[in-house]
């Protein structure tokens, strides 16, 4: 019995580790699916345009979380002959797709629905239902947002928020954070749209709220697309790490000068380092190999994310110097 329990625990441990690692994505997915159903039911009962728009918003967010989970799964494949540096950038590709979907589907449908409702307004039948659903959605979305904020704060350290977003090489964290933030802003706008359309007896205000929600989503999509594009093209490691890499090279008397140190993230947790250095002319091949091995060992001690290192001996006058 004890051995059976141990086997079961061993089988569950990878699943539990996966769930803990992706708690932000799964939390957001669960919340958005429940919220989407509630919003569509409320929209059908009340005829609220902004409520229907918010339902579309939640569906898009749910689909985005599924795509990010899929991207993480595909990015985790081991390197092979066709992709010697692995598949880590596939996550960046799906992050870019997510940004496009937010813009094309989320923002596009929201703005279209709002314009249609402005041109052909229909009064909200029972605003109380909308208020209740929006309140529940705000609580659920808020819990997902708090989880995303805690996870992001744990990763950003002492960096400012914007600096942490710009330097982050893992898009899942900041995408969920921005999605949840946009969702909470959208809920407030939707509530104001419902209230104002009832208070002023002008159903067009509910349509205007839909347009505003679409504009919020468009802004978030543009920001996420910009960050995802940079990761997809390839971003360097943090300047602090590059400076420490240069310090390792400078500590070797056998190196006359460092021509350049170039890095690129091939995945959120994988960095490729390329070095061009001018070695002393009197070094024998055997000594040079020992020096290079020592440099590589010292560099890998700086960060577990350093996966590959290429060191090229090159005369300074013949090299591209950074």
Q: Do 255 and 200 lie in a common domain?
A: no
Strands 255-267, 270-279: pairing is: antiparallel
Give the domain range for residue 267.
239-318
Q: Higher model confidence: residue 209 or residue 12?
A: 209
pLDDT of residue 59: 87
Domain boundary among 233, 268, 301: 233
Stated as kind and residue range, the H or E segment containing 278 is strand 270-279
Q: Higher model confidence: residue 319 or residue 187?
A: 187
Q: Edge-to-edge strand order for the sheet containing 270-279?
A: 255-267, 270-279, 306-313
- How far out from the chain centre does Cα 154 lie? 15
Select from 143, 191, 201 the least CA-distant residue to 39.
Answer: 191
Query: Could you report the per-residue pLDDT of 166-185, keeping only the tens digit for each?
Result: 888 888 888 888 888 998 99
From first CA to last CA, the distance across the chain in angstroms is: 63
* pLDDT at residue 79 is higher than 70: yes
Phi, then psi, of 231 in degrees rounded to 5: -65, -40
pLDDT of residue 103: 83
* pLDDT at residue 4 is higher than 60: no
- CATH (domain of 305): 3.30.70.1350
Q: Do 108 and 193 lie in a common domain?
A: yes
Q: Do 105 and 9 lie in a common domain?
A: yes
Q: How confident is the prediction for the chain on average, in pLDDT? A: 86
Going by the DSSP 8-state scheme, the letter that residue 236 receives in this structure is P
Q: Do 165 and 246 lie in a common domain?
A: no
Cα-based angle 244, 308, 248 (whole degrees, multiple of 5): 25
Q: Do 214 and 245 lie in a common domain?
A: no
Helices 285-302, 239-250: axis angle to 10 degrees equals: 150
pLDDT of residue 293: 93
* pLDDT at residue 12 is higher than 80: no
* DSSP string covering 246-260: HHHHHT-TTEEEEEE
Query: CA 91 to CA 110: how far, in whole Å?
Result: 27
Q: Do 30 and 156 lie in a common domain?
A: yes
Q: Do 37 and 137 lie in a common domain?
A: yes
* pLDDT at residue 147 is higher than 60: yes
* pLDDT at residue 2 is higher than 60: no
Select from 168, 306, 315, 318 the least CA-distant residue to 248.
Answer: 306
pLDDT of residue 20: 66
pLDDT of residue 263: 95
pLDDT of residue 16: 63
Domain boundary among 233, 257, 273: 233
Q: Do 184 and 37 lie in a common domain?
A: yes
Is residue 56 within 8 A of residue 89, CB to CB? The reply is no
- How far out from the chain centre does Cα 194 lie? 32
pLDDT of residue 43: 85
Give the number of other Cβ atoms within 10 Å of residue 172's Cβ.
25
The region of weakest confidence among 31-35, 131-135, 301-305 is: 31-35
Domain boundary among 205, 233, 261: 233
pLDDT of residue 211: 93
Q: Do 151 and 114 lie in a common domain?
A: yes
Q: Do 136 and 260 lie in a common domain?
A: no
Per the structure, how many domains does the chain have? Answer: 2
Query: CA 201 to CA 209: how far, in whole Å?
Result: 15
Q: Do 257 and 173 lie in a common domain?
A: no
Q: Do 197 and 245 lie in a common domain?
A: no
Query: Could you report the per-residue pLDDT of 88-120, keeping only the tens digit for each?
Result: 889 999 999 988 888 888 888 889 989 998 998
- CATH (domain of 161): 1.20.1510.10
Give the number of other Cβ atoms within 10 Å of residue 154's Cβ.
9
Query: CA 257 to CA 293: how far, in whole Å?
Result: 18
Using DSSP's 3-state secondary structure scheme, residue 201 falls into coil
Confidence band of 1 (pLDDT split at 50, 70, 90): very low
pLDDT of residue 53: 82
Select from 226, 221, 289 the least CA-distant residue to 254.
Answer: 289
Is residue 278 within 8 A of residue 257, CB to CB? The reply is yes
Query: CA 169 to CA 95: how far, in whole Å?
Result: 11
Classify each residue of 287-316 as buried b or exposed e, where b means 16 or more C-beta atoms within 10 Å of its C-beta.
eeeebbeebbebbeebbebbbbbebebbee
């Amino acid at each position: 019995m004890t051995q059976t329990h141990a086997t079961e625990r061993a089988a569950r441990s990878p699943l539990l580790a996966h769930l803990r690692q992706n708690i932000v994505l799964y939390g957001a997915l669960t919340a958005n699916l429940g919220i989407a159903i509630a919003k569509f039911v409320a929209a059908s009962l009340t005829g609220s345009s902004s409520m229907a728009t918010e339902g579309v918003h939640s569906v898009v967010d749910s689909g985005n979380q599924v795509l990010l989970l899929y991207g993480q799964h595909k990015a985790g494949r081991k390197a092979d002959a066709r992709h010697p540096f692995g598949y880590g950038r596939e996550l960046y590709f799906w992050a870019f797709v997510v940004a496009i979907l937010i813009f094309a589907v989320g923002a596009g449908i929201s703005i279209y629905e709002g314009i249609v409702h402005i041109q052909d307004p229909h009064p909200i039948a029972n605003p109380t239902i909308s208020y209740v659903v929006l309140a529940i959605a705000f609580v659920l979305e808020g819990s997902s947002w708090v989880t995303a904020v805690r996870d992001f704060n744990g990763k950003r350290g002492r960096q400012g928020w914007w600096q942490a977003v710009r330097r982050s090489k893992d898009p899942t964290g900041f995408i969920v954070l921005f999605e949840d933030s946009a969702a909470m802003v959208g809920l407030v706008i939707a509530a104001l749209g419902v209230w104002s359309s009832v208070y002023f007896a002008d159903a067009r205000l509910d349509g205007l709220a839909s347009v505003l929600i679409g504009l919020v989503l468009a802004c978030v999509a543009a920001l996420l697309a910009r960050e995802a594009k940079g990761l997809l093209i390839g971003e360097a490691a943090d300047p602090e790490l590059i400076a420490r890499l240069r310090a390792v090279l400078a500590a070797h008397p056998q190196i006359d000068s460092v021509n350049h140190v170039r890095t690129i993230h091939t995945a959120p947790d994988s960095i490729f380092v390329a070095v061009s250095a001018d070695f002393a002319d009197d070094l024998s091949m055997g000594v040079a190999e020992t020096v290079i091995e020592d440099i590589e060992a010292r560099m890998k001690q700086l960060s577990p994310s350093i996966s590959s290192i290429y060191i090229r001996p090159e005369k300074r006058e013949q090299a591209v110097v950074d």
